[in-house]
Amino acid sequence: MLKRLVHSLKSLVASFYWLVVIGRWGIDSVFDAVYEGQSRSETFRKIFRDAFGAEYPEEVDTTGFLTVTDLHNAAKYLGVGPGQTFVDLACGRGGASLWVARETGANVVGIDISKVAIKDAKGRIGSFGLDGRADFRVADIAATGIPAGTFDGALSNDALFMVPDKQGAFREAAHILKPGARFAFTTWELDESMRIKDYHPILEQSGFEVELYEACPGWEVRQRAVHEQILANKEKLIQEMGKDAAGVWIMFSQVELPKLPLMRRIFVVARKK
Ligand SMILES: C[S@@+](CC[C@H](N)C(=O)[O-])C[C@H]1O[C@@H](n2cnc3c(N)ncnc32)[C@H](O)[C@@H]1O
């Protein structure tokens, strides 16, 4: 009982600190720091590798909880192919964008608010053999500036929960998609300021029809293992990633660990009407 109370208090303080950090420096600076530090840490990568086992998408090197199954699902449900182009909203370092583009034969445009992520993503195009078929741009996914009806599909992994203007982000996704195109994404449900309890209403209000909406198998076990190991390896991570990058993940793990039983990681496919 006392242990749970202490844990909840720590989570409350960390949640508050997390919102202050994002509010003060902006989500782009927070992620610039994360991306700069993360690539230096072998411990960080090992934590994910150990927690995910065969589900760890080694080549993709994601910044979230993306699995091999998620990647295959995205490629299967996006319904894109050669000669078509999909957009990856909040693409991070572009690993998932490039993997899905290679798998489907389609072209990709990745968008993220972090300059560091976009620079890294551009640098990875060649290693996936996708020169001329991938483009990465810095922009807010709630206001991309891209003309209506541009894309044949949209992807987004582990990012929509943190976008403050969610209505704007879903409206923008609908705006830049062609009618009938699919939006496949992973995110978390949780009835709190940064997240939504149920994505059906916002999708329907934004002009989508939900085709598939399901929990990702095994997500909680993997996420718990990652957070526990991040907190158990704090000092090592600070040493390898630097204080800023490690600090974001440590804070995130502190906030999230007690909330896991209240959350659900979901995979959704919605069709633009
Ligand atoms: C957890 S990471 C996931 C990145 C990537 N999708 C992946 O799976 O590796 C979340 C990403 O969302 C981006 N992001 C957050 N808010 C954004 C916004 N409003 N517009 C564009 N990108 C945003 C961050 O910069 C970060 O790269």
Cβ of 63 below 6 Å from ligand 1: yes
State which ligand 1 atom lies nearest to the alpha carbon of 140. Answer: 20
Confidence of residue 166 (pLDDT cuts 50, 70, 90): very high
CA of 6 to the centre of ligand 1 (A): 31
pLDDT value for 33? 87
pLDDT, tens digit (0-9, with 9 covering 90-100), for 52-102: 999 999 999 999 999 999 999 999 999 999 999 999 999 999 999 999 999
Q: Where are the alpha helices (DSSP H) in 109-218?
A: 115-124, 166-176, 200-205
Regarding the beta carbon of 30 and ligand 1, being less than 6 Å apart is answered no
Alpha carbon distances (Å) from 106 to 17, 109, 173, 224: 41, 10, 18, 35
For residue 33 and ligand 1, the question of a CB distance below 6 A is answered with no
Q: What is the pTM of this model?
A: 0.93
* Residue 18 Cβ < 6 Å to ligand 1: no
The residue whose two tokens read 């202050």 is 20
Domains in the chain, start-ordered, CATH in brackets? 2-59+218-262 (no CATH), 68-217+263-272 (3.40.50.150)
First to last CA, the chain: 49
By alpha-carbon position, which residue is closest to atom 1 of ligand 1? 64
